[in-house]
Amino acid sequence: MKLRRYFLFGIGGTVIALTAIILLASQFILANNYQQLETQDVKAQVQQVVDTFQNDIGSFNITDIHWAAPPQPRPAPTGQGRGNVDLRLVEKIGFDTGSAVMVLDQENNIIFRNQGKSSANHAAPSIPTSVLPEMPSENPFTNAHNTQRPLKGLINLPEGTLMMVSIPLPAGGGRIIWGRYFDEAEIQHLSDVTNLDIQAVSYDEDNVPAEFQRAKNNLSNADSFYSEAENNHTLAGYRLMNDVYGKPSIILRIQIPRTIYQVGQGGLTNFALVLILCVIAAGGAVYLLLEQVILGSITALNGNIGSTTPPAAATTYQIDEFNKLATGIQSLIAARIVVEQKLQESYAKLESRVEERTSELFTINAGLQQQLDTNKQIQAALAEARDKALESLQARSQMLANVSHDARTPLTIINLNTEMLQQGRHGEMNAKQNEVLDRILTATRQLFNFMSNMLGESQLENGKISLVKMVYEPKLLVEGLVSMLKPLAENKGLAMHVEADLALPSNTMGDPERLKQVITNLCENAIKFTKTGEIQVKAYRKDQFNWVIQVHDTGCGIPREAQNRIFEAYWQVENTGIPSANRGVGLGLSIVKQLVQLMNGTITVESEVGKGTIFTVTLPLENDSPQLVIEPIKQPNRIANPSSFEFS
């Protein structure tokens, strides 16, 4: 969008917003003023009707007539007077005023009553006797105790609402009551006198028009005036008239044209038109001024910016800032031309360099492609060598497994025959011979352990070992195994103890032979690396689901940096003080850890150099199923003498 559009939209939006704000404010202020003027006008008109109504009632109060007889009264004709009241005069005045008259004595007895006349000079109803209540003292019109002043007002009777005046009589006592019904004729009379459209309803009337009902809901003794606009042309005002008891009696309604409102609306319309024209003119003037002073200059500057050559002559603007800006733009254009020339030269040089580098890259790519082909040939040769090495390794592993398995039988025979010789089954042996036989047994057992570990490691790597699950008693298994290994510890002068927790279950599920293999390796390892002290084996229940086997020795210990590697195959701790011939090949702990993991257990080590080592094996208790469950072994690996495994 161009700059002129921005300015045009901005000025137009400002003009529209300003006009709307002024119109709304004027509408709010002037409309409220017009409404207040209307309310005051209709209130004055209503007050005029009320004053006229009060004058009509006051017309009964003829106070300038002396009702009392003169000092020397003239006798009235028979039947023409009562006491000191000239009834003929009373009747005449009542006829002249169009009102009914009632004369009462001190006891409120009626001594005279006549009829009034209507607006058409027809006879009007006389004052009914219902004006005399059962308790005269409650009626201010008939209360004889208040004889000092006349009373006037409205009174609601079953026959209708009366406009009444009660005038006290002089010393003779009693009252004269003048009255006229507030009916359609009276309302028409008020309309004729005031030239207003007047309506009235009784306050206690039930079925009244909706407009009277709204006025009734908004009128009260404290606020007896209410007005409302019926439409754009008519305004109605309401006034509540109370009776002599101070209770609501009638609701007066006048209707007047909304002249002030219509004049005000016309004035607002004219004001809005004039305002819109003035604002449009002001906006146009502002836009023209901006066009001449700012926008034209900006357009010229924009043209200079887009030019590829410096302007021939400097343009002069009306605003000093634009002159400075034009000078700066000219400098920028000149600098841009210089930069473009240098860029063109650099581009030409760059193209030549790119061509040179492209030819060099082609040469390098050809060499790289040749090297890639050579690498592919080398990778193919390496893959072939790797496959041959894997085949050779697998064949060697299988050969070691076969050799280890086949060598176990003759080693077992040598071991048994040596033990039979020691036991004297082939004759008595002397001390020297027994010593030689001990060395033969030790060497045989070491070779047997070596072959067994080689076979076990091979089977574990190939995944050919599975557990045989059967029911066994953990306490008896641990105690029996320790008792079998105890002589081996005593031969080195070591004490060996076992502590089996009575809380261990009487039976559980598992592979007791593999568990014996784990415990035997840990115990023989402790015996091997302990010179003095003792080996302690503990078995206890850890919680509801697990039990623990712990082997604690007082041997040389394991350095902290070596504790993370002792479970690796063929890895051994150096500087243990044990001859290499008796240390094995480093497969014992690797086999132990793999067997424990195969049993869904864990093994941890705690050790300090010179103070001993603690191996802790945690195994799950599987005592939920009392039946024997056997998982087949892919390749048999039963060991004739589990106590002869070596731990390294």
Over residues 429-464, the pLDDT tens digits come to 888 887 788 778 777 776 776 676 666 666 666 666
Q: What is the pLDDT of residues 132-169, one digit of tens each?
A: 764 455 566 666 445 556 778 888 888 888 888 888 77
Count of alpha carbons within 13 Å of 194, Cβ hemisphere only? 27
Are 441 and 418 within 8 A, CB to CB?
Answer: yes
What pLDDT is recorded for position 150? 73
State the Cα–Cα distance between residues 383 and 389, nearest whole angstrom.
10
Contact partners, residue 522, CB within 8 Å, separation at least 6: 549, 551, 592, 615, 617, 647
Report long-range pairs for 323-326 (Cβ below 8 Å, ≥24 apart).
325/301, 326/300, 326/301
**What pLDDT sits at residue 499?**
93
* pLDDT per residue as tens digits for the range 223-245: 688 888 878 788 888 888 888 88
Close Cβ partners of 79 (under 8 Å, ≥ 6 residues apart): none
Residue 637 burial (CB < 10 Å; 0-12/13-18/19+)? buried
The CATH homologous superfamily for domain 465-644 is: Histidine kinase-like ATPase, C-terminal domain (3.30.565.10)
Distance in angstroms between the alpha carbons of the first and the last residue of the chain = 87
Task: Give the residue ranges of the chain where pLDDT is below 70.
Answer: 1-4, 7, 27, 30-31, 60-89, 91-98, 115-125, 133-149, 170-173, 221-223, 291-323, 326, 393-394, 396-406, 408, 446, 449-450, 452-464, 569-571, 573-587, 623-648
Give the pLDDT of residue 540.
94
Per-residue pLDDT at 643: 37
The per-residue pLDDT for 547 is 94
Query: Of 436, 475, 453, 470, whose CA–CA distance to 401 is shortest?
Result: 453
Show me where the domains of the chain are located: 3-58+260-293, 81-258, 465-644
pLDDT value, residue 400 = 65
| E-strand stretches of 80-222 | 81-82, 85-86, 100-104, 110-113, 116-117, 123-124, 151-157, 160-168, 175-181, 197-202
DSSP 635: S
pLDDT at 602: 94
The whole-number pLDDT of residue 11 equals 73
